[in-house]
């Protein structure tokens, strides 16, 4: 298990950006696959919110440890949630996806209302698994646990 300090470093080495996601949510798992496919430089490392690593990071950043309604981006010692996390992630993806960061200009309450609408219906619309995702061998290096 890797340990973290408040600067976003793991075992003394810069960890890059960390994406925390709901490990049983099909939409969240699909998002992780989407990000991994468009992140050839492995800028993002991932961990499920339910994992020991995810729980430690939630604790470290004073975030709720039992409310998995958002994908969280930890970058440069800051934790970003809801629409901000997704839009900041898009800035680092290959292809045209960085264009989505334009939506950061929309007021956060409006962006987050849309995000919460999807988040609150994600299990009904996309389904969920009984257990957290286990990364495939070709994706294991992207996961912190």
DSSP state letters, 50-106: TSHHHHHHHHHTT--SS---S-EEEETTEEE-HHHHHHHHHTTSSTTGGGGGGGGGS
User: Can you tell me the mean pLDDT for 57-76?
Assistant: 92
pLDDT in tens, 35-49: 999 998 899 999 999
> Rounded to an integer, what is the distance from CA 90 to the centroid of its chain?
11
Q: How far apart are CA 139 and CA 119, in angstroms?
A: 25
Please state, rounded to an integer, the average pLDDT across all residues of the chain.
86
User: Can you tell me the mean pLDDT for 61-82?
Assistant: 92
Structural domains of the chain, with CATH: 9-138 (3.40.30)
Count of Cβ atoms closer than 10 Å to residue 144 Cβ: 21
The two three-digit tokens of residue 138, written as one number: 């070709």
Does 13 have pLDDT greater than 70? no
**pLDDT confidence band for 10 (50 / 70 / 90):** very low
pTM: 0.84
């Amino acid at each position: 298990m890797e340990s973290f300090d408040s600067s976003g470093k793991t075992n003394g080495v810069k960890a890059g950006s960390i994406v925390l996601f709901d490990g049983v949510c099909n939409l969240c798992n699909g998002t992780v696959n989407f990000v991994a496919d468009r992140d050839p430089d492995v800028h993002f490392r991932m961990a499920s919110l339910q994992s020991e690593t995810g729980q430690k990071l939630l604790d470290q950043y004073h975030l709720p440890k039992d409310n998995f309604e958002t994908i969280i981006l930890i970058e440069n010692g800051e934790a970003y949630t809801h629409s901000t996390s997704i839009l900041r992630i898009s800035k680092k993806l290959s292809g045209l996806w960085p264009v989505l960061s334009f939506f950061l200009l929309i007021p956060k309450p409006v962006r987050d209302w849309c995000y919460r609408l999807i988040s609150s219906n994600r299990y009904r619309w996309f389904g969920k698994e009984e257990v957290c995702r286990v990364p495939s061998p070709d994706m294991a290096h992207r996961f912190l646990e």
